Chains A and B, each alone.
Chain A
Amino acid sequence: MIAMFSDASLLILALAIPAAVALLVALAGRWPNLREAISLVGALLLAVTIFMLLARVLGGARPSLHLATIAPGLDLALALEPLGMLFASVAATLWIANTIYSIGYMRGNSEPRQTPFYSAFAVAIFSTMGVALSGNLITLFLFYELLSLSTFPLVTHKQSPEAMRAGRVYLLTLIGASMILLLPAIIWTAVATGTTAFTPGGILAGHVNPIGMAVLFGMFVFGAAKAAVMPLHRWLPAAMVAPTPVSALLHAVAVVKAGVFTILKVSVYVFGLDTLRETGASQWLVYVAGFTIIAASFVALSADDLKRRLAYSTIGQLSYIVMAAAIATPAAAIGAALHIAAHAVSKITLFFAAGSVYTAEHVTKVSRMDGIGRRMPWTMAAFAIGTLAMIGLPPTAGFLGKWFMLGAAGSASDWFAVGVIIVSTILNGAYFLPILTAAFLKPAGGPVAEAPVAIVVALTATAIGTVLLFLFPDVPLRLASAMVAP
């Protein structure tokens, strides 16, 4: 049965399923139960498709498909390699959890305009899959831009003046950066090398001089503003005005990971890790990313709004990945790839919990969370697991990536990076642990009252996932290792 599908048809399915969901959801708007069923079935089918692809990639296959020739030398192509596989698997799996969660959240809060919401969400997943599966820079750019555009209606879902303002900051930052920096970087690469295809070992070596290489790398890093490297980070806290399921899947998983994924992918498959190390083109980025990590942690310390604190935590965590890409050793790249998966599953748990608290008690401030752990034990237990992962403690997935990155920074004798990781770990603890102590140690002040069951199911599942990823890291580790294998 599995053999029935060719590699190419599975790649097509991975794009076609979310596209079909977007269309069918829009048509089924009048029947909410049918609409949600379509989303859920679509998410399950996509996960099955992605896992079939995963089995093949682990078996050594590298499915690829040429989609269209836009013009001579301008091709749209899909090509799956280990890093893209890892990203696609994470996003597809979490889409299931997020769909269940969305149903509970959107109905629990009686949100308006649910049909456009689910439809745009599916388009965003479609774009995310496209980013993960893209075989060259042009295809990546196409889906990257589509992801920015399709998430705009989600960010501005409330349509209040504040939401519209946030939406403008969001879109102008993301599109502006990608248009002014990422696109010229891609075209420069194409003109210099004659290709834009992702190639193991990179394509740029010998085509651009070292200074040009550093400039080009900077254009890629800041052009992919979805990675939220300072100073292009402001859109992320602004986007928190969106409903929580959007913040959870898109601004903890799909959108931001599309940014760091682009940076890591370009480092490995366009520059080549060896080239980056030899030319020192990425050395400066260690400092920028390090600064972002520490600065974001300090902002998070002082943020009273829970989602804002989570947003700044995300900015810091993303820059771990960027810093690892800049260190550019194989071990650092493995750490970065693992952290993409680990941060995704744990940060979505945290957002789920934040939305759960909002749905049940309409609490958005950290200062009002006293004793909430006793009133909402499931939610806050999951939250606790998420925080452990953020700090990087076992037994959670967050430990793995950090361990690899710390080791890589040490063996590269990059003591600045080592210092940043250690200091930021302490800071992470400083802004997350007080929430836990207040939630569990202060008196309950009320009866036990959890959020709707769909919400609790989803956040419990992702919390368990955070632990499972620590206990059984085999698959992501194999993918990450295959990424840097010669």
Chain B
Amino acid sequence: MTLAVLQHHLPVLVVLMPLLGGLLVAIIRHPAASWPIAIAAAAASLAGALALSREVAANGVISYALGGFPSELGIEYRVDAVNVLILVVVSFMALATLVFARLSVASEIDEGRQPWFYTMMLVATAGLLGMAVTGDAFNAFVFLEISSLATYTLIALGRDRRALVAAYQYLIVGTIGATFYVIGVGLLYLATGTLNLELIAERLPEVTSPRALLAAEAFILVGIALKLALFPLHAWLPNAYTYAPSAATVLLASTATKVAVYLLARYIFGIFGLHREFGDISGASLLILLSLAAMFLASAAAIFQNDVKRLLAFSSIGQIGYITLGIAIANSDALTGAFLHIANHAVLKGAAFMAIGAILYRCGSERLDDLAGIGRAMPVTGAVLTIAGLALIGVPGTSGFVSKWYLVAGAFDAGKGWLALMIVASSFLAVLYVGRIMEIVWFRPPGRVALAAAEAPGGLLVPMVALATLTVLLGIAAYWPAEMAHSAAEALLGVRP
């Protein structure tokens, strides 16, 4: 097989690499072999995603017919400026998480279960990548279920028994979401006779039954909203993030909701539009309203948490609000901000959860009070947490500033100055919850836990320092990602119905 052939099959290889890697780990089922295989699979997937991003930048949209069937019959994988960004983010974060996982998993999970953990990590990654790469509505459902089932398992592997409840809670909600989604897809299929997203969009104007479409839209959007934890459908998320093993939380927080957000944007801009009226309120206004509620209420809830992971989980719900707000404002700047924030938030939250994972590794606790003075015992870990916190606030010089800049500029550009003020006012809440962590970590006298702690080992430090460095780089030299996000925004706005 020559390189050109490989190149041609890249869209499917990106997904297959982690899927086959997961299978291999499960077959060998040896703790020592699991990690190298997982790393190799994730690295191969990232290399594929990067190659795809170069090709899309050079030649535009790549369409790949799975099995060579035409898109009316078979499944089309379609890579464009929008989802290539998601592919890069997901595969990069999967690799970073797996690097981090070696020591973290060894300390948190029984040796016998470690191979299963790596299998599930890889399968979840494959599912997420598949959701992003596919151009087929039903195939997206299949991948959604693959990633979800793997995720339930990952959460259930948490060391606390409450992890089982959290996994079960997520299982129920996630299944409802997936069911809603597939019902909606079924209705779309009845109305248009195809499952291909491009073809659905093409045939939509000929559909004679607006009621079927309305039902399809409601089912699909609500189903996706459950997966992305859009307020008020976010109840599953805090427990899932809190009780999952550290490495699983890192992967979940930085990728899972992001892919669902992508799918939401794809359906809104590719098929349904934002103009539909639901009673007295338009789709756009509704999304703005829910986003604002997430930004304010979830961030406010974060202030009062006593468990750091739970605090960061509520912060994530709030941060997702910024992304969906960018989608709702729906102009070039706001969408650029939304897509930048998908990448920026993935990296910075990954760094934050890794830092917490490292503290758990050394101290065995994630309670906020136990973190008193931990910055002196673990200065590098504390610095990583600080950088991630500053980026959450949106301090200039960090990635969070750039995405916020574009979002606010988008709001002003849309003539919605009040929304701009809402964005900055809600990020003031981040000052409060980040400030609370910082004060405890750096300015409290070291407690019993901190006195016994030492700096995290190199295996944990390397990935989190890399992500923290990236967070700063994305704040001072973000030309390339900003361009990528901008093309993604333009591509979405270009196909708007």
Contacts and interface: CB of A to CB of B under 8 A. Distances in A.
Contacts of A69: 477, 479
Given A187-B408, A191-B412, A180 B425 contact: yes
Q: In this complex, which of A70, A171, A191 has the most chain B Cβ atoms within 10 angstroms of its Cβ? A: A70
Identify the interface centre among B395, B404, B417, B439: most chain A CB within 10 Å of its CB: B395
A74 B337 CA distance: 13
Contact of B443 (A71, A156, A190, A191): A156
A179 B394 contact: yes
B493 interface: no
A465 B51 CA distance: 64
A138 B396 CA distance: 8
A450 interface: no
Interface residues on B, range: 35 or more
B409 interface: yes
A179 B431 contact: yes
Contact of B395 (A145, A168, A187): A145
A149 B427 CA distance: 16
Interface string A133-160: 0000010011001100100000010010
Contacts of B110: none
25 contacts: A68-B476, A68-B477, A69-B477, A69-B479, A71-B405, A71-B479, A71-B482, A74-B478, A142-B396, A159-B445, A164-B439, A168-B435, A175-B393, A176-B428, A179-B424, A180-B424, A183-B404, A183-B424, A184-B408, A184-B420, A184-B424, A187-B420, A188-B412, A191-B413, A192-B412
Contacts of A71: 402, 405-406, 478-479, 482
A76 B425 CA distance: 25
B435 A70 contact: no
B431 A76 contact: no
Contacts of B202: none
Contacts of B477: 68-70
Interface in A176-224: 176, 179-180, 183-184, 187-188, 190-192
B318 interface: no
A141 B483 CA distance: 23
Contacts of B393: 175, 179
A141 B396 CA distance: 7
Interface string A30-72: 0000000000000000000000000000000000000011111
Nearest to B403: A71
Interface in A377-422: none
Contacts of B397: 142, 145-146
B395 A149 contact: yes
Given A172-B432, A184-B408, A192-B412, 17 more contacts: A68-B476, A70-B402, A71-B405, A72-B486, A74-B402, A74-B405, A74-B482, A159-B443, A164-B439, A168-B435, A171-B435, A172-B431, A172-B435, A175-B431, A180-B428, A183-B404, A187-B412
Give the residue among A68, A141, A184 with the most B Cβ atoms within 10 A.
Answer: A184
Nearest to B404: A183
Nearest to A159: B443
A38 B394 CA distance: 33
A188 B431 contact: no
Contacts of A191: 409, 412-413
A169 B144 CA distance: 47
Contacts of B483: 72
B463 interface: no
A76 B421 contact: no
Interface string B456-497: 000000000000000000011111001100100000000000
Interface in B373-428: 390, 393-397, 402, 404-406, 408-409, 412-413, 417, 420-421, 424-425, 427-428
Contacts of B395: 145, 149
A168 B432 CA distance: 10
A72 B424 contact: no
A221 to B, nearest CB: 16
Contacts of B420: 184, 187-188
B387 to A, nearest CB: 12
A171 B412 CA distance: 27
Interface of B: 390, 393-397, 402, 404-406, 408-409, 412-413, 417, 420-421, 424-425, 427-428, 431-432, 435, 439, 443, 445, 475-479, 482-483, 486
Contacts of B439: 164, 168
B334 to A, nearest CB: 12
A176 B431 contact: yes
B369 to A, nearest CB: 16
Given A70-B479, A142-B396, A187 B428 contact: no
A194 to B, nearest CB: 11
Contacts of A188: 412, 417, 420
A188 B419 CA distance: 12
Nearest to B340: A71
A262 B307 CA distance: 40
A300 B429 CA distance: 33
Contacts of B435: 168, 171-172
Nearest to B483: A72
Nearest to B478: A71
Contacts of A164: 439, 443
B427 A179 contact: yes
Given A138-B396, A141-B396, A188-B412, A179 B428 contact: yes
A455 B26 CA distance: 72
Contacts of B427: 179
A68 B480 CA distance: 13
A71 B476 CA distance: 8
A72 B431 CA distance: 27
A187 B405 contact: yes
B410 to A, nearest CB: 9
Contacts of B445: 159
B409 A190 contact: yes
B476 A76 contact: yes
B478 A70 contact: yes
B210 to A, nearest CB: 38
A145 B424 contact: no
B404 to A, nearest CB: 8
A477 to B, nearest CB: 34
B197 to A, nearest CB: 30
- Across the A-B interface, the 7 shortest Cβ-Cβ residue pairs: A71-B482, A142-B396, A191-B412, A187-B408, A71-B478, A180-B424, A184-B420
Of residues A68, A156, A159, A179, which shows the largest number of chain B Cβ atoms within 10 Å of its Cβ? A179
Nearest to A212: B417
Contacts of B402: 70-71, 74
B476 to A, nearest CB: 6
A146 B396 CA distance: 8
Contact of A145 (B396, B412, B417, B476): B396
Interface in A71-97: 71-72, 74, 76
Contacts of A74: 402, 405, 478, 482
A191 B410 CA distance: 9
A479 to B, nearest CB: 28
Nearest to A191: B412
Nearest to A139: B396
A337 B288 CA distance: 45
A76 B417 CA distance: 25
Interface core residue of B405, B427, B486 (most chain A CB under 10 Å)? B405
A72 B486 CA distance: 10
B396 A72 contact: no
The residue in A159, A175, A187 that gathers the most chain B C-beta atoms within 10 A of its C-beta is: A187
A69 B432 CA distance: 30
Nearest to B410: A191
Contacts of A68: 476-477
A176 B429 CA distance: 9
Most B CB contacts (10 A, CB to CB) among A71, A76, A168, A180 go to: A71
